[in-house]
Structure 1
Amino acid sequence: MKKNWKVGELARLTGLTVRTLRFYDQIGLFSPSGQTESGHRLYDAADLSRLHQILSLKELGLSLEEIQAALTEGKMTPLEIVELQMERIKERIKLQQKRLEQLAYVSKQMQGEAPLTVKDFTDLLQAMKRELEKPVIERRTSWGRHLDALGHFLAADNGRSKSEEEKNDE
């Protein structure tokens, strides 16, 4: 038997809000596969798979527009998305492991009452700084992409306006 979920059930199941799911539907990113007779949205297992892809790409830092393009243009398969997630997690684990080793070293030095060098502290501070800067850099990059897209849109719109003006002048 095929299981279907209403929007509220899907929201509780996934931890998203009903508002978010409705917004995704409004922009054409994630639409339900069915409806009840009374017009309530119904989602099935295939919809859950698509939602997983959307949330995975969002977690990787893509904008909603980029996610929609990737999914509709077939640029990424579900398997590629899962593999990207795995790589990202492995990268985080590696960085966290390195930081854990640095902290363990410092702890051992402190327990032995050995003096910590300036390099010990700067290594720790650099690791912390990188961790704090990463979200800022990702946000900056995302804003840059948005501004570029806006610039292209405005340039295209400006080109249309000029051609319309030329037509009106004739």
Structure 2
Amino acid sequence: MERYWKVGDLAKLTGLTVRTLRFYDQIGLFSPSGQTDSGHRLYDESDLSRLQQIVSLKELGLSLEEVKSVLNDKQFSPLEIVSLQMSRIKEQIKLQQTLLELLQHVSKSMQGKEPLAVEDFTELLQAMKKSHEKLVVERRTSWEHRLDLLGNFLAAEEEDWKSKED
């Protein structure tokens, strides 16, 4: 027996807002599989799978337009999307684990009133910088990609204008 959820129920189930789900529907990213006789959106289990993929791709840093393109072009299978997300989380955990171990070492030295070596601080600072740089690089790459898309769009619009003028 297939289960269905109305938009409010799906929002509660997933932690997303009704507004977000409606917006996703409005832009054609995530539409319900059905409707009630009174016009309420109805989502089924396959919709949940797509929503999971959307949220995963967003967490990987893709814009909504990029997410839509990836899903519509079937560039990645659901399993590949989950694998990408797992790889990213493992990388983040590794960076954070290294930082935690260094902080614990510094804390233990401080509690024991042992003098800290310059190397202790430099390792800690490097780990903090690496963690921060990873985030900055990901954001910069995402923005560069978005700017490229905008540039392509503007160039296409300019071509349209030129062709209409001729």
- Relative to the length of structure 1, the TM-score reads 0.91
1:3 aligns with 2:3: yes
Task: Choose between structure 1 and 2 for higher RCO, CA contacts under 8 A separated by at least 6 residues.
Answer: 2
Percent identical among aligned pairs is 69
1:28-39 matches, within 5 Å, as 28-39=28-39
* Matched residue count: 166
Structure 1: distance between partners of 2:73 and 2:110: 56
1:139-150 matches, within 5 Å, as 139-150=139-150
2:96–2:131 contact (8 Å) kept in structure 1: no
Determine the structure 2 residue equivalent to 1:80: 80
Determine the structure 2 residue equivalent to 1:62: 62
Task: For residue 115 of structure 1, give the secondary structure of its aligned residue in structure 2.
Answer: coil
Structure 1: distance between partners of 2:24 and 2:126: 39
Compare CA radii of gyration and give the structure with the larger one: 1
Structure 1: distance between partners of 2:93 and 2:133: 17
User: Mind listing any 5+ residue stretches in structure 2 that lack a counterpart?
Assistant: none
Q: CA deviation at 1:107?
A: 2.5
Task: For residue 32 of structure 2, give the secondary structure of its aligned residue in structure 1.
Answer: coil
One-letter code aligned to 1:68? K
Determine the structure 2 residue equivalent to 1:49: 49
Q: CA deviation at 1:132?
A: 3.3
- Relative to the length of structure 2, the TM-score reads 0.93
Structure 1: distance between partners of 2:96 and 2:128: 10
Which one is further off, 91-100 or 149-158? Answer: 91-100
One-letter code aligned to 1:56? S
User: Mind listing any 5+ residue stretches in structure 1 that lack a counterpart?
Assistant: none
Determine the structure 1 residue equivalent to 2:105: 105
One-letter code aligned to 2:46? A
Structure 1: distance between partners of 2:90 and 2:138: 18
Q: CA deviation at 1:18?
A: 0.6
Structure 2: distance between partners of 1:113 and 1:37: 72
1:93 aligns with 2:93: yes
Determine the structure 1 residue equivalent to 2:22: 22
One-letter code aligned to 1:37? D
2:5–2:44 contact (8 Å) kept in structure 1: yes
